[in-house]
Amino acid sequence: MTGVPPAVLPSMNQPLVPRILRPRRAAPADAVRPTRADINLEALRHNLRVVRKQAGAARVWAVLKADAYGHGAPAVARTLERDRRVDGFCVALLEEGVELREAGIVAPILLMGGHFGNAHEEVIARGLVPVVHDAEPIAAFARLVRAGIASGPIEVHLKIDTGMARLGVTMQALPALAARLAEYPEVRVRGLMTHLACAEDAADVETAEQIARFEEATALLRRHGVNLDVRHAASSAALLRGQALFDAVRPGISLFGVSPRLGGGAGEPITKDLKAVMRVRTEIIAVRVLETGAPVGYGATWRAPGPARIATLPMGYADGLSRQLGNRGHVLVRGKRAPIVGAVSMDMAMIDVTAVEGAAVGDEVVVLGPQEGPLGRDAISANELAERAGTIPWEILTSISRRVPRFYREP
């Protein structure tokens, strides 16, 4: 263990204290490559206004998990908190909550992931609101109060599994848990939540059944003396459809300009009032001329059908440009579409600019978002990329990695 100061190493009898660590995000000042993501903060605020209007009297808790859907959670949270139309934030991980607190966010932050490891004390120290789904974390938080480590009552939200089969106390287990809550007066169940599995389904059957179970769970808890202050179930799809608008709503992807689609997949967007927040761009770093039949990329998955001009981009799947877009996706160059050819590699990708007149080294290339150039004007949406890659726009946005610096813009 040479090179490690002895004081850093815990002794055999010293308990290990959890440390909340985060990967470092690439900063604009460190940018060398031309690959970057531009974040339009005015579009973000516009989307919040759309969401706020749709929410009516319900509180709006912005979901900023997965680094605010790839947009950079600290900057997004600061922008929304200053706007005063948001009432709080939701994250999945304790680490995400810590990051927001260290960024100076003072609004309520709900930890929805339901797993705290051995860091229950950290949750309370950071002023975070935990979501619990069984008796174990309730008992753990109660022990902190009994030991004098935290002051009570500690407020938590209880998650009910109404049909997602992912996380939450089941309807079958709820009566026993409700009966046990009296054993832990140090913990107060302030909120009740669930997650809707089929909010985009036009038939609404599953959603109606889940809401009915949620109401049943509410009534059961009240019979056990649990007086709830807030209930919430609606994410973006349900919110935009006016469903499950209880005391609070949890918009996520809609804040970033992507509307869920009715029926999912290629269905119609529930709303067209949102504005895309992220624009991902890079530049051409090399151009070469290929003869007919010449291969491009790993595995030679594309060969030139005729004489071709191939440009290289300094962006690959490690940056969030999906490998599935090889020979399927497009980018924008000089305002015109150019196909991605060959396999997308870790750090680079190739495009066919044979039909893009004047394409040269240094030209801007837009991977996501709009571009206007001498050859036209076009835009590539997260939905389009998702359809080409066989995935969903949530994955497209959250896949833009932390090594791509975010530049925050006020148009």
Q: What are phi and psi of 187, to 5 degrees?
A: -120, 130
Contact 128, 108 (CB under 8 A): no
**Residue 196 · residue 210 · CB < 8 Å:** yes
CB 368 within 8 A of CB 36: no
Residue 65 catalytic?
yes
Q: Which of 65, 69, 159, 317 is catalytic?
A: 65
- Cα–Cα nearest to 393, from 286, 289, 252: 252
CA distance 266 to 89: 30
69 tagged catalytic: no
Ramachandran region, residue 19 (left: φ > 0; alpha: ψ -120 to 50; beta: rest): beta
- Active-site residue, selected from the candidate residues 53, 159, 184, 298: 298
The phi and psi torsions of 194 (rounded to 5 degrees) equal: -150, 175
Q: So which residues are the catalytic ones? A: 65, 298
